[in-house]
Amino acid sequence: MIDVSKSKLERIDMLCSKERRLNVFIKRDDLIHEEVSGNKWRKLKYNIELCNSRKKEGILTFGGAFSNHLVATASACKETGIKAIGLVRGDELGRASNSTLQKCHSLGMQLVFVSREEYRLRNEKPYHESLSLDYPNYHIVEEGGANYYGMIGCQEIMNEVKEPIDHVFVSQGTSTTSCGILLSLNTDQLLHVIPALKGYKSLEEMKALIGKSGIETGWLNALLSQVEVLDEYHFGGYGKYTPELFEFIREFHKKTGIKLDPIYTGKAMFGMLSELKKSTYDNSSILFLHTGGLQGIEGVEKRSGITLF
- Contact 104/70 with Cβ under 8 angstroms? yes
Which of 25, 271, 292, 300 is in the footprint of ligand PLP by CB under 6 A?
Answer: 292
Q: Where are the alpha helices (DSSP H) in the chain?
A: 39-53, 68-80, 99-106, 116-119, 125-134, 148-154, 176-184, 202-211, 217-224, 243-256, 265-276, 297-304
- The binding track of 176-195 with respect to ligand PLP, each residue x by CB under 6 A or -, is xxx-----------------
Site for ligand PLP in 119-148 (CB under 6 A): 144, 146
Give residue 244's identity as a one-letter amino acid code: E
Site for ligand PLP in 52-111 (CB under 6 A): 68
The answer to whether the Cα torsion of 113, 118, 124, 126 is positive or negative is: negative
Q: Which is nearer to ligand PLP, 23 or 181 (CB)?
A: 181
Site for ligand PLP in 10-39 (CB under 6 A): 38-39
Calculate Rg over the CA atoms of the chain.
19
Site for ligand PLP in 206-235 (CB under 6 A): none
Should residue 7 be labelled a site residue for ligand PLP when binding is judged by CB under 6 A? Answer: no
Each as own residue / partner, the long-range contacts of residues 245-251 (CB below 8 Å, 24 or more positions apart, any chain) are: 245/270, 246/304, 246/306, 246/308, 249/308, 250/308, 250/309
Q: Which is nearer to ligand PLP, 80 or 178 (CB)?
A: 178
Smallest distance, ligand PLP to C-beta of residue 21, A: 29
Should residue 175 be labelled a site residue for ligand PLP when binding is judged by CB under 6 A? Answer: yes
In the complex, which residues of this chain contact ligand PLP (CB under 6 A)? 38-39, 68, 144, 146, 171-178, 261, 264-265, 291-293
